[in-house]
Amino acid sequence: MENIVLVEGAGFCFGVKRAIEIAFDVAKKHKEGIFTLGPIIHNPQVVEKLKELGVCPIESVTEEKNIKTLIIRAHGIPKDKLEELKKKGYEIIDATCPFVKKAQSLAEKLCLEGYQVVIIGDSEHPEVKGIFSYAGEKAVVVTSDKIPNLNKKIGIIQQTTQPLSKVKEILNGIINSLNEFEEIRIFNTLCNFTAKRLESTEKVARNVDLMIVIGGKNSANTTQLANLCKKIGVKTYHIEDVKEIDKSWFKDVKKIGITAGASTPQWIIDEIIDKIKCL
Amino acid sequence: MENIVLVEGAGFCFGVKRAIEIAFDVAKKHKEGIFTLGPIIHNPQVVEKLKELGVCPIESVTEEKNIKTLIIRAHGIPKDKLEELKKKGYEIIDATCPFVKKAQSLAEKLCLEGYQVVIIGDSEHPEVKGIFSYAGEKAVVVTSDKIPNLNKKIGIIQQTTQPLSKVKEILNGIINSLNEFEEIRIFNTLCNFTAKRLESTEKVARNVDLMIVIGGKNSANTTQLANLCKKIGVKTYHIEDVKEIDKSWFKDVKKIGITAGASTPQWIIDEIIDKIKCL
């Protein structure tokens, strides 16, 4: 198998690279008691490598007793949680993605200026939970084109990894009720890297016989890439690891496209490409 | 002819009523030298009545020498023009519609806050020329769904009498390029009265055999009502005066709808209804 097209921008995004670098840096400087609150990124292999260096993920601070340093992962955490951790006296290393930080501070600003904050995204995603905590009591999360009743003055932001097409659809739905609003203020908080990765993936997926989408099964943005490819109609496999590859997938396949989510390290992508080349 | 339906909200809107009341009030108090800059509203009959009271429309201040008081009509005028008139020492009575005033001050505020101001409307309309003068050098008027290249941070307002459907179409076009923007801030500056009149006119037009649309031929909002009726497919006549009515229009017609633009006085509507009833 030689006819392999790797999608431009596949793999680690800026925020993820930054969070991992911060975690590895901290691991080098400290000897014990370093933890990440939740996995640093949605990729089990990276989490495993950090564990080897003594940086373990914990779900909450009550689980562990010997906590000295806490690393906040790229998704960010809710405001009250961050304040609580600071009060407890832990050393806090904030690796929240700058794009997510921007969405958090816009949520806070809009709320202070009297807007009802509308977050377009998945209410169960940790990033959205974090942003929501800055957005005030009246804030709402909108996930589909079913728009709830809103105030007359709204400020709209987005989960950074939402697909542009879905965001546009929801915004168009809101615009359709323009006569019910006094002001609609929209900040674009979408991550460029994610948007470009989706766009390049679509282009490749339309020109190959098979797509391999690499990334954690619990990674929303990887799942989004896989769903996009399936929607286009190309045969698609979402895998986390080289071991999952099955030779039978490639029968009668001439051209293969490869893409990877924002939490997928380059070494995993390389391993998988090498494996396919040898089939 | 008895089966006549008068559209709810047909005729004078709030801003027009207010401007006319101001003009008549001024006419009572002053003896000479009172002028309106342009016709006070787009209706020749009202303009004629004011002339009888000594309040004449002039196109520009150079035309007349004995100016003491100038009434600014409901549409408003450009900022520099207003300042020039004040400097010349005339007594200025500002009858600009409060909805138009709001659009003017939002244009100024947005410009001061660094937004490129986008005005959805007709660039040739005096109201838009007025608003535009407050919107700064980078401002643009968008008339159709052909959206020009815009800055990354835009503030959108509308000519108060634009049809909601057209505004939504243009806004959706802008939203479709969301990825090119950092912020899109939309203020709803549409006049409620105009929107409701269009909506009620549409309802009536769908249920009658003939529509009579009353109002100045140079009134944009009356022409808009006539175009809406024609689009629906109902036989439509746009008239200014009772004298225009032609008996032949009503042959085989069972149900008649009547609507009127924002500058049409009630007495003209009544006269026309009475005439049709007697046919």
Could you report the per-residue pLDDT of A69-101, keeping only the tens digit for each? Answer: 999 999 999 999 999 999 988 999 999 999 999
pLDDT at B217: 87
Question: If you measure CA to CA, which chain A residue comes closest to B187?
Answer: A183
Highest mean pLDDT among A64-68, B58-62, B137-141, B142-146: B137-141
Give the whole-angstrom CA distance, residue A82 versus residue A88: 10
In single-letter form, the type of residue at position B5 comes to: V
Contact A175 B172 (CB under 8 A): yes
State the DSSP H helix or E strand holding residue B241, giving kind and residue range, or none if neither.
none
Whether the predicted pLDDT of A115 surpasses 70: yes
- Paired tokens of A81: 């949680």
CA distances from A265 to A146, A219, A235, B139 (A): 36, 13, 23, 46
Higher-confidence residue of B195 and B139: namely B139
Percent of chain A having pLDDT more than 70?
98
Give the largest Cα separation in chain A, rounded. Answer: 61
Using a CB-CB cut-off of 8 Å, the residues of chain A touching B164 are 178-179
CATH number of B180's domain: 3.40.1010.20
The minimum CA-CA distance between A136 and chain B, rounded to whole Å, is 20
The last residue of one of the domains, among B190, B210, B225, is B190
Q: How far is CA A99 from CA A95, A131, A160, A192, B242, in A?
A: 11, 11, 7, 9, 64
B184 contacts in chain A (CB < 8 Å): 185-186, 188
Is pLDDT at A7 greater than 90 in this prediction? Answer: yes
For residues A27 and A186, what is the distance between their CA atoms, to the nearest angstrom?
39
- Which residues of A make CB contacts under 8 Å with B? 164, 167-168, 171-172, 175-176, 178-179, 181-188, 190, 195
| Chain B residues with CB-CB distance to A182 below 8 A | 187-188
pLDDT for B1: 67
A155 and A72 both lie in a single domain:
no
The pLDDT value given to residue A44: 80
> Could you tell me the pLDDT band of residue A40, with boundaries at 50, 70 and 90?
confident
Residues A181 and A197 in one domain: no
Q: Do B21 and B56 reside in the same domain of the chain? A: yes
pLDDT of B45: 79
Within 8 A of B190 by CB-CB distance, chain A residues are: 178-179
Same domain, B61 and B124: no
Distance from CA of B52 to the nearest CA of A (A): 40
Res A217: pLDDT: 87
Q: How far apart are CA B36 and CA B26, in angstroms?
A: 11
The reply to whether residue A183 touches residue B186, judged by beta carbons under 8 angstroms, is yes
Q: How many residues does chain B have?
A: 279
Nearest CA in chain B to A106: B183
* 8 Å CB contact of A182 and B171: no
Where residue A32 sits, what CATH number does that domain have? 3.40.50.11270
Tokens, residue A77: 């955490």
Mutual orientation of helices B220-232 and B192-205 as an angle, nearest 10°?
30
Shared domain check, B93 and B103: no
Among B97, B126, B152, the domain-final residue is B97
Is residue A52 scored above 70 in pLDDT?
Answer: yes
CA angle B14, B18, B22 (to 5 degrees): 175
| CA atoms of A176 and B90, how far apart (whole Å) | 45
- Among A178, A190, A195, whose Cβ lies nearest the Cβ of B188? A178
A to B CB pairs, distance under 8 Å: 61
Is the same domain home to B109 and B173?
Answer: yes
Question: Is A22 in a helix, a strand, or coil?
Answer: helix
Give the end of a domain, one of B136, B163, B190.
B190
The beta strands (E) that lie in chain B are given as 4-6, 34-37, 56-58, 69-72, 91-94, 116-120, 140-142, 153-158, 183-187, 210-214, 235-239, 256-260
First to last CA, chain B: 6
Test A188 with B171 for CB contact under 8 angstroms: no
Decide if A167 and B188 are in contact by the 8 Å CB cutoff.
no
Residue-averaged pLDDT of chain B: 92
Q: How confident is the model at residue B220 (pLDDT cuts 50, 70, 90)?
A: confident
Q: Chain B residue with minimal CA distance to A193? A: B179
Rounded Cα distance between A16 and A4, Å, is 25
A202 is catalytic: no
CA–CA dist B192, B98 (Å, integer): 12
pLDDT digits (tens, 9 = 90+) for B15-72: 989 999 999 999 888 678 899 998 888 778 788 989 999 899 998 887 666 889 999 9
Distance from CA of B51 to the nearest CA of A (A): 38
Angle (CA) A230-A235-A241 rounded to 5° is 95
Whether residues A136 and A81 fall in one domain? no
Mean pLDDT of A104-117: 98
Cross-chain Cβ contact A186/B190 below 8 Å: no
What's the structural domain count of chain A?
3
Residue B9 belongs to what H/E stretch? none
Give the one of A164, A183, A185 whose C-beta lies nearest to B178's C-beta: A164
The rounded percent of chain A whose pLDDT value lies above 90 is 73
**3-class DSSP assignment, residue B16:** helix
Cβ contact, residue pair A183, B187, below 8 Å: yes
Question: Which strands form A235-239's sheet, in the order they lie side by side?
Answer: A4-6, A256-260, A210-214, A235-239
Whether the pTM exceeds 0.80: the reply is yes
Q: Are residues B175 and B103 in the same domain?
A: yes
Cα–Cα distance, B134 to B105 (Å, whole number): 7
- The residue among B83 and B32 whose pLDDT is bigger is B83
d(CA B47, CA B44): 5
Query: What is the ipTM, given to two decimal places?
Result: 0.85
Active-site option among B59, B127, B180, B183: B127
Interface-testing mutation among A188, A189, A193, A199, with chain B (most B C-beta atoms within 10 A):
A188
In angstroms, the CA A18 to CA A193 distance is 14
Mutation target to probe the B interface, by most B beta carbons within 10 A, among A154, A179, A190, A196 is A179
Q: Is the CB of residue B254 less than 8 Å from the CB of residue B245?
A: no
**Interchain contact, A178 vs B186, CB within 8 Å:** yes
Instruction: Specify the range with the lowest mean pLDDT, choosing from A21-35, A153-167, A200-214.
Output: A21-35
Q: Give the long-range contacts of residues B56-60, CB within 8 A, separation 24 or more.
A: none
Measured from the Cβ of residue A104, the count of other Cβ atoms closer than 10 Å reads 25
User: What is the predicted pLDDT for the residue at A63?
Assistant: 61
Residue from the list B167, B183, B188 with its beta carbon closest to the beta carbon of A183: B188
Nearest residue on chain A to B155, alpha-carbon basis:
A185
Give residue B249's domain range. Answer: 4-11+193-277
- CA gap B53, B32 in Å, rounded: 10
Do B72 and B117 reside in the same domain of the chain?
no
- Same domain flag for B69 and B138: no
Q: Is the pLDDT of residue B86 over 70?
A: yes
Mean pLDDT value across chain A: 92
Q: Helix and strand tally (H, E) in chain A?
A: 9, 12
Tens digits of per-residue pLDDT, A183-235?
Answer: 999 999 999 888 889 999 999 999 999 999 999 888 888 999 999 999 999 99
Closest of A218, A204, A230, A232 to residue A261, by C-alpha: A218
**C-alpha span between A152 and B181 (Å, rounded):** 23
pLDDT at A1 > cutoff 90: no
Work out the minimum CA distance from A162 to partner chain B, whole angstroms: 12
**A88 in the same domain as A33:** yes
Same structural domain, B181 and B257: no
In b/e form, how buried is each residue of B162-182, taking b as 16+ CB within 10 angstroms?
Answer: bbbebbbebbeebbeebeebe
Fill in the amino acid letter for B37.
Answer: L
